């Protein structure tokens, strides 16, 4: 099978993942907590596709930074206003808190995220760095072997921690510090699954790719208790069933059996998904909590979600997309290359 262009059905999947996380945070759908798993699988697919088509590592990083930071910085402003005006919530003025949240590197500066949902962005950064190192050392050609070694490394690090169960303070401390700085340890298998799905989509299925998918799925069970907050809301079987659905949908998608994901509403939801993810837990929930005493929890949650969707649409189409296009254009004009180079 020859190399193929981007699957636009992924926009629909990304939209579903975003709305799932959104309604989960509004305490309306506990299974929405697994939307983060779906996000990481999609990211593995899209980022691998992006970097293998990048002409330089600089182009890749410029594309990623333009994609992430403008909307992220605006979401910080929205969060501060929402917390201050609607929730009367105090915000830390400590230097490490400010610097950590501005840079998106909260674990490096040992501070808490301004908005809980931001934690996944640092995991994404881990993945970008890893994939960039592989690109720099020309190892993407060996990606299947590297994915296998990576998942084997997860087992080698996580299993002793779980078996020791705190009986070795030294290893427990090492694990907690290492996982804090390199949280992709808990999620590498999901990014790996996304990469494998892209390899199947672009080059076809083979025995090794099937084994890699099975390994990545098995690691969902291994990381169930340490891979995020899913453990507090779903048991292992529920988590596995949700992820099995994601894997099956991905398989159907790469074989063009999910054309419903191209529905215009889902595509729009996919386009606004990043901004929706960034603001729903600050602006949306602040609106909901502010209105609850007047109109009740159920109606206020509906209005909070609706307000998040509307604001996400406005930000995406009237701020984020135009600004990204302008920044990419300036960068590409400076390098005298077509803007298509950074379209990802």
How far are the Cα atoms of 94, 167, 246, 332 from residue 209, in angstroms, in the given order?
47, 37, 17, 36
**Neighbouring C-beta atoms of residue 260, cutoff 10 Å:** 9
Six-digit token string for 27: 């305490």
What was the pLDDT predicted at 141? Answer: 95
- 129 lies in some domain: yes
What was the pLDDT predicted at 1? Answer: 38
Six-digit token string for 60: 């890749």
- 137-155 b/e (C-beta count within 10 Å ≥ 16 → b): eeeeeebbebbeebbeebe
Least confident piece of the model among 48-52, 225-229, 300-304: 225-229
CA atoms within 13 A on the CB side of 321: 11
pLDDT band for position 338 (cuts 50, 70, 90): low
List all residues 6 or more positions away from 138 whose beta carbon is below 8 Å from its beta carbon: none
Residue 110: which region, alpha, beta or left (left: phi > 0; alpha: psi -120 to 50)?
left
What was the pLDDT predicted at 90? Answer: 85
What is the average per-residue pLDDT within 87-112?
94
- 315 lies in some domain: yes
d(CA 77, CA 65): 18
d(CA 140, CA 270): 28
The angle at the Cα of 119, spanning 327 to 344, to the nearest 5 degrees, equals 30
Which value, to the nearest 10 degrees, does the dihedral of the CA atoms of residues 267, 275, 130, 336 take? 80
- 344 lies in some domain: no
DSSP 232: G
- 43 lies in some domain: yes
Residue length of the chain:
344
With a cut of 60, say whether residue 341 has pLDDT above it: no
d(CA 228, CA 60): 28
Six-digit token string for 303: 């209005």
- 1 lies in some domain: no
**Neighbouring C-beta atoms of residue 225, cutoff 10 Å:** 14
Which residue is listed with tokens 């309604």? Answer: 23
What was the pLDDT predicted at 333? Answer: 73
Which residue is listed with tokens 């005298």? Answer: 336
What is the average per-residue pLDDT within 23-40?
96
Least confident piece of the model among 6-15, 194-203, 267-276, 301-310: 6-15
What was the pLDDT predicted at 2? Answer: 41
What is the average per-residue pLDDT within 319-344?
78
Judge contact between 30 and 114, C-beta under 8 A: no
7 vs 322 pLDDT, higher one: 322
Considering the chain, what percentage of its residues have pLDDT values greater than 70? 95
Nearest to 104 by CA among 138, 63, 70: 70
With a cut of 70, say whether residue 337 has pLDDT above it: no
**Neighbouring C-beta atoms of residue 128, cutoff 10 Å:** 19
d(CA 168, CA 177): 14
Quick check: helix, strand or coil at residue 13? helix
Domain count within the chain: 1
The angle at the Cα of 184, spanning 178 to 190, to the nearest 5 degrees, equals 150
Which value, to the nearest 10 degrees, does the dihedral of the CA atoms of residues 78, 83, 85, 88 take? -170
With a cut of 70, say whether residue 342 has pLDDT above it: no
The angle at the Cα of 276, spanning 220 to 317, to the nearest 5 degrees, equals 135
First to last CA, the chain: 22
pTM for the model: 0.95
Average pLDDT, the chain: 94
- 3 lies in some domain: no
- 308 lies in some domain: yes
- 343 lies in some domain: no
Domain that holds residue 79: 9-333
């Amino acid at each position: 099978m020859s190399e193929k262009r981007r699957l636009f059905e992924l926009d629909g999947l990304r939209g579903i993942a975003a709305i799932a996380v959104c309604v989960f945070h509004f305490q309306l759908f506990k299974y929405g907590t697994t939307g983060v798993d779906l996000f990481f699988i999609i990211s593995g697919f899209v980022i691998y596709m992006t970097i293998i088509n990048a002409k330089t590592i600089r182009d890749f990083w410029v594309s990623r930074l333009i994609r992430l930071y403008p909307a992220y910085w605006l979401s910080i402003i929205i969060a501060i206003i929402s917390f201050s005006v609607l929730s009367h919530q105090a915000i830390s003025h400590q230097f490490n808190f400010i610097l950590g949240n501005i840079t998106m590197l909260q674990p490096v500066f040992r501070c808490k995220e301004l908005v809980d949902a931001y934690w996944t962005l640092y995991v994404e950064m881990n993945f970008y760095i890893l994939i960039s190192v592989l690109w720099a050392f020309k190892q993407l050609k060996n990606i299947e072997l590297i994915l296998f070694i990576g998942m084997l490394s997860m087992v080698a690090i996580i299993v002793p921690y779980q078996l020791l169960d705190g009986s070795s303070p030294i290893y427990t401390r090492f694990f907690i510090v290492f996982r804090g700085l390199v949280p992709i340890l808990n999620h590498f298998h999901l990014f790996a699954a996304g990469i494998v799905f892209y390899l199947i989509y672009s080059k076809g299925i083979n025995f090794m790719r099937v084994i890699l998918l099975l390994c990545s799925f098995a690691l969902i069970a291994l990381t169930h208790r340490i891979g995020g907050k899913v453990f507090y809301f779903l048991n292992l079987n529920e988590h596995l069933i949700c992820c099995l659905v994601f894997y099956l949908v991905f398989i159907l998608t790469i074989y063009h059996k999910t054309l419903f994901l191209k529905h215009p509403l889902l595509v729009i939801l996919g386009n606004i998904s990043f901004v929706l993810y960034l603001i729903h837990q600050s602006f949306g929930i602040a609106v909901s909590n502010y209105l609850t005493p007047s109109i009740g929890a159920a109606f206020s949650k509906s209005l909070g979600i609706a307000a998040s969707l509307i604001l996400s649409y406005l930000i995406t189409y009237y701020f984020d997309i135009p600004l990204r296009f302008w920044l990419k254009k300036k960068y590409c004009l400076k390098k005298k290359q077509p803007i298509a180079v950074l379209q990802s």
